[in-house]
Chains A and B, each alone.
Chain A
Amino acid sequence: MVKIKFQNVRKVYNGTDVVDNLNLEVATGKFTVLIGPSGCGKTTTLKMVNRLVDPSAGEIFIEGKNISDLNPVDLRRRIGYVIQQIGLFPNMTIAQNIEVVPRLLHWPKQKRLDRTAELLSMVGMDPQQFMNRYPSELSGGQQQRIGVLRALAVEPPILLMDEPFGALDPITRESLQDEIKKLQMKLGVTVLFVTHDMDEAIKLADMIVLMREGQVEQAASPEKLLSDPVSDFVQEFIGKKHLPTNYDVESVWEIMNPNAVTIAKTKGINESIALMNKRNVDSLIIVDENRKLEGIVSVEEIRAAGRQESRIRRIGDLGIRQVPTINIHSQARDAFDLIVNENPRFIVAVDDEDIVYGIVTKTSLVKALAGVVWGDETDV
């Protein structure tokens, strides 16, 4: 089933085709992701769906109806919209922000209240605690959540999302991606989602639409896109994002333990000890605010620092030791070699930019081998 159909759509700004003869079908109930370099026309394409921008030529249909025949204000109230910079109204409380569209549609007060509470609970935010706060009193990740809830308030059949998780740290970002994917599947909404992050696209999409200079370069499922890129441009775009392009059992990505215990270098000594106790480990991987590797520190070193009554407060100020690292795209065999030859307690798995993704230990190697010998139970 087709929900949104673009037919020969063009948009011209100052004589240049920002969107150039776009033909695209967005399937009902599916998660479609628009991706491409900056300025290729993603936001413009999205805005044409709710008529914030009208095409210069061509037609857009929603469930067979030409949207240029519909009243834009009515149309927009039936399409959820998450803008590129969240845009929660700072003069309104969280509840008032979520209730914008319900109010426009004259929902009675009790119904609005119930819905707001339901939505907040859905993303694990306590309604009592958050309803009467203002956006400025929320963390970035919480604000992003509210931005999404606001768009979902009246259960619109279509949800447009423009880089909704743009400015978040990788960990918050991942958990929000999980949430939105779950919500989308549960509610059966048709989602048109813009990103420039290929990892995000692959994780979320049923269909990826890779755009280039206002045109569709390739529209395909993530698997198809990865295995069958139609052009060098697609290939390069995938490669540029440092994706593990082959999901062989043989890459480090596949065999590593993703639950590495990391700590930000700005954290205190006591917090570090508490974390070690809680996770039952004898060393911590120290990272910066972007989860980039700084080094490791062991429990002995922390204890020593504590005994010296030194003035060191931040864990990052302890003498940090370097650790062996391995790229997540490397062959698993390289990890074997490293562990066998140098016998380190563990190797840190990082990407090209030294971002920590996990660790490889003797245990993870044994598990990987066991998977090869007896079949991988986690995949069954």
Chain B
Amino acid sequence: MSDLPIFLQRNWGTFVNALGTHLKLSFSAVAIGICIAVPTGILLTRFPKAAKKVLAGVGVLQTVPSMVMFGLAMPLLGIGIRTALVVLIIYSILPILRNTYTGISEIPEKYIIAARGMGMNGFQMLMRVELPLAGSVIISGIQLSAVYIISWTTIAALVGAGGLGDLIYTGIMTYNYSMILLGAAPASILAVLTSLLIGWLARIATPRGLRM
């Protein structure tokens, strides 16, 4: 372990690069996942019958192990960052979709009746009542999704997308324990920090009236 500083120094450039790619990949996947899942979730609340089926279908997709998913995607989309992104987006969707749907569906009916009874149209109801009241549930879906995606992005190295997973695989191939740690430890720390950050943002964005 005495040669750790030298090890770090020698691999610093590679590490920073891998970290950057990892962040970019996870962030993009979750961001695009939000853009797809939140509107879809809202739409589903308007069609509760279809919603059950759609959620069940997406749920099945989620149970496909990520290795298998990457394996299946490769022949179709080739090797590289694009494949990784598509697979990660698919995985990021479910928690956000499910939480958006349940968050809005489970708003007590009295608020919905009050809002409609006072003359809000559908869009006003969504913006002023439904989204604010479902907000914390939706955000916890995003939080969950972000944590998953950050750890699954390490597997994306399998399809040549780079990221911290690259360091882990290189380490495994060359029996370089330090290298494995250099990939694995930051990935875990990143997941924890992101979760904390989102939790904190959610708290300060919650109006006092909704805090317990």
Where the two chains meet, the residues of A that have a C-beta atom closer than 8 Å to any C-beta of B are 50, 52, 73-77, 81, 83-93, 100-101, 104, 134-137, 150-151
Contacts and interface: CB of A to CB of B under 8 A. Distances in A.
B119 A104 contact: yes
B76 interface: no
Contacts of A100: 118, 120, 128
**Secondary structure of the B contact surface, majority rule:** helix
A75 B121 CA distance: 12
Contact of B209 (A74, A85, A135, A150): A135
A93 B116 contact: no
A87 B111 contact: yes
A91 B124 contact: no
A121 to B, nearest CB: 22
Given A52-B113, A83-B110, A87-B111, A134 B208 contact: yes
Interface of B: 110-111, 113-121, 124, 128-129, 132-133, 207-210
Contacts of A134: 207-210
Contact of B124 (A83, A88, A104, A136): A104
A77 B119 contact: yes
A331 to B, nearest CB: 46
19 contacts: A73-B120, A76-B117, A76-B118, A76-B119, A77-B118, A83-B114, A83-B117, A85-B110, A89-B111, A89-B114, A89-B128, A90-B209, A90-B210, A91-B209, A92-B207, A100-B120, A100-B128, A134-B209, A136-B209
Contacts of B117: 50, 52, 76, 81, 83
Nearest to A77: B119
Contacts of A89: 111, 114-115, 128-129, 132-133
B118 A101 contact: yes
Contacts of B210: 90-91, 134
B109 to A, nearest CB: 9
A33 to B, nearest CB: 19
Nearest to B114: A87
Nearest to B206: A91
